[in-house]
Amino acid sequence: MISVILDERFFPERQMIQKNQDILRRSRRLCQGKRGNGPIVYWMERDQRLIDNWALLFARQEALIRHKPLHVIYCLTDDELDATSGRQDFSLAGLSEIRQQACGLNIGFEIFLGAADAVLPPLLKANDCHLLVTDHSPLRHKQQMCERIGEAIAIPFFEVDAHNIIPSWILSDKKEYAAYTLRPKVRRLLDDFLSDFPQLISHPLAPVSIALPAQPRLEKDRHTRRKIGQFTSGTSEAHKRMQGFVNDDLQRYEQERNDPTGDAQSDLSPYLHSGQLAPQRLALAIDAANTNQQSKEAFLEELIVRRELAENFCFYEPSYDSFEGFPGWAQKTLNEHRQDKRRHLYTLEELEKSETHEALWNCCQQDLRDSHKLHGFLRMYWAKKILEWTASPEEALDYANFLNDKYSLDGCDPNGYTGTAWSIGGVHDRAWQEREVFGKIRYMNERGCRRKFKVDNYITAHCGDSDRG
Ligand SMILES: Cc1cc2nc3c(=O)[nH]c(=O)nc-3n(C[C@H](O)[C@H](O)[C@H](O)COP(=O)(O)OP(=O)(O)OC[C@H]3O[C@@H](n4cnc5c(N)ncnc54)[C@H](O)[C@@H]3O)c2cc1C
């Protein structure tokens, strides 16, 4: 039925009306080109899910209107950091769920082994593909990859922000100074953009067989760990966890989220990072929750304002992971304190192996290594101590990003690069009282942690012995 209604030879005006503006406004064209006669391809990268995915909805809308088959392609590269953190296994297990769902929805799904700029241009050409769609990430590797692919292909190429509720380029056209400058922009647009997702129904055209002889593909799903630490991979698991959090823990969020011995955070960041859960779906669930307003607002502030602020930072600041990305006041104060004597200096190896003099820090690092996630409050303390115990802010930032990306299941994320830049370089923060090494960067120490929560209980629970230093 749908294929008859949307056949462009007979109903061109009707198609225009059928275009869903809520999907279209989340897209932008990366390059022009001539549409081919073959299938529409969605190159899935960051948003690894089929439901609640604006990029797939965009590709599917185009496929319906143009009467084309629809394919999802994922390009798998081997990366040491992804392997150690468990991110690669987590992704692969989630992708195997996607493969099954895609089959039931008449959508082709393939995993190719190789970088996207090696896989996609010849594949799109060999199969005379109609157009290419991808999801948006502000991170350097994805932006550069899109540029290279855009230069190598001859068909139109679209990017869709399937990760943010308000697409980054619509929310703001510049690097924001802090949460207080972004918040009014979020408030202005949120009601309009926090809409429910259209349902993903089976595509009327069956996928065709696409081939690329020179490029190996993953014929059968690799046998991988589905469970990394306490996190079981997959969209269905993500939804189960989300519901559990909304029903049981959200009510305590406002009061207890900063206590690492409690259980008031959602622990949903691995699912948000891998795209197995859409932030917009989570925001809708929180909005509809039957619990106290303070907790709902506190959670939405983190999920929307803080998270989209991190996206904004990485999108508009090319040096998001280096000293040059710090605000001017922070660079100045850190430069003035370069020569300050450090009471403790540790190598990357000593930090990685939890070999410092401070039991709490050692336990945080061990917790990160063992469970692949660190509580949000401890992440700040953990990164700030790296500034205090290394020779320069540049070294501190490099070590913090390396360790975070190597061990966190939610690592290699705009939230991570912005979190370390906040802790070490005052990004989105203000100047505080001046002190050695830190200059005017906000200071944190173990004593402060003891005032906030029962440090010994945390150490005993995660590392067994609170005396270890
Ligand atoms: C040094 C440092 C490193 C960090 N590294 C990462 C990282 O690698 N990956 C990552 O996703 N987050 C990172 N964060 C941000 C934050 O600590 C985590 O998002 C949070 O701990 C994730 O746990 P949760 O889902 O249980 O959080 P919840 O409190 O349940 O929050 C729900 C969601 O809101 C968002 N959110 C919460 N706090 C922040 C924040 N401060 N900034 C931006 N978004 C936020 C996240 O998407 C989070 O999943 C880092 C923060 C710091 C200070």
296 C-beta closer than 6 A to ligand 1: no
For residues 282 and 327, membership in a common domain is answered with: no
Instruction: Give the Cα separation of 257 and 449 in Å (integer).
Output: 14
pLDDT tens track for 320-345: 999 999 999 999 999 999 999 999 99
For each of the chain's 469 residues, which pLDDT tens digit applies? Answer: 333 333 444 334 444 445 699 999 999 999 999 999 999 999 999 999 999 999 999 999 999 999 999 999 999 998 888 888 899 999 999 999 999 999 999 999 999 989 999 999 999 999 999 999 999 999 999 999 999 999 999 999 999 999 999 999 999 999 999 999 999 999 999 999 999 999 999 999 999 888 776 667 776 666 567 889 899 999 999 999 999 999 999 999 999 999 999 989 999 999 999 999 999 999 999 999 999 999 999 999 999 999 999 999 999 999 999 999 999 999 999 999 999 999 999 999 999 999 999 999 999 999 999 999 999 999 999 999 999 999 999 999 999 999 999 999 999 999 999 999 999 999 999 999 999 999 999 999 999 999 999 999 999 999 986 554 5
Q: What is the CATH number of the domain that holds 420?
A: 1.10.579.10
Choosing from 163, 189, 214, the residue where a domain stops is: 163
Q: What is the CATH number of the domain that holds 177?
A: 1.25.40.80
For residues 48 and 79, membership in a common domain is answered with: yes
CA of 269 to the centre of ligand 1 (A): 7
Candidates 124, 195, 155; CA nearest to 29 is 155
Residue 130 contacts residue 155 (beta carbons within 8 Å): yes
306, 415, 442, best to mutate for ligand 1 pocket (most atoms within 8 Å of CB): 415
Residue 419 contacts residue 310 (beta carbons within 8 Å): yes
**Residues in the chain, how many?**
469
Query: Which pTM does this prediction carry?
Result: 0.95
For residues 331 and 449, membership in a common domain is answered with: yes
CA of 119 to the centre of ligand 1 (A): 33
410 C-beta closer than 6 A to ligand 1: yes
Domain presence at residue 207: no
Q: What is the CATH number of the domain that holds 118?
A: 3.40.50.620
pLDDT tens track for 161-205: 999 999 999 999 999 999 999 999 999 999 999 999 999 999 999
Candidates 214, 205, 44, 33; CA nearest to 123 is 214
For residues 296 and 357, membership in a common domain is answered with: no
CA of 355 to the centre of ligand 1 (A): 25
Residue 208 contacts residue 39 (beta carbons within 8 Å): yes
For residues 310 and 169, membership in a common domain is answered with: yes
Q: Look at the chain and report how many structural domains it folds into.
A: 3
What is the arrangement of strands in the sheet containing 27-31, beginning at the earlier edge strand? 27-31, 157-160, 132-135, 40-43, 70-76, 108-113
pLDDT over 90, % of the chain: 87
Return the residue matching tokens 């370069």. 338
Give the range of the structural domain holding residue 191, as residue numbers without chain letter: 164-200+229-316
For residues 426 and 414, membership in a common domain is answered with: yes
For residues 250 and 344, membership in a common domain is answered with: no
For residues 94 and 182, membership in a common domain is answered with: no
CA of 410 to the centre of ligand 1 (A): 9
CA of 456 to the centre of ligand 1 (A): 23
Choosing from 316, 340, 368, the residue where a domain stops is: 316
Residue 265 alpha carbon, nearest atom of ligand 1? 30
Which amino acid is present at 24?
Answer: L
Q: Is 281 exposed, middle or buried (0-12, 13-18, 19+ CB in 10 A)?
A: buried
273 C-beta closer than 6 A to ligand 1: yes
What is the full DSSP assignment across 303-352? IIIIHHHHHHHHHH-TTTTSGGGS-HHHHHHHHHTTTSPPS----HHHHH
Q: Give the three-class secondary structure for 388.
A: helix
Q: Which helix (H) or strand (E) holds 14?
A: helix 12-18
pLDDT for the residue numbered 226: 85
419 C-beta closer than 6 A to ligand 1: yes
Instruction: Give the Cα separation of 441 and 432 in Å (integer).
Output: 6
| Joined tokens for residue 249 | 């823990």
| Joined tokens for residue 428 | 């989105």
Other C-beta atoms lying within 10 Å of the C-beta of residue 302: 15
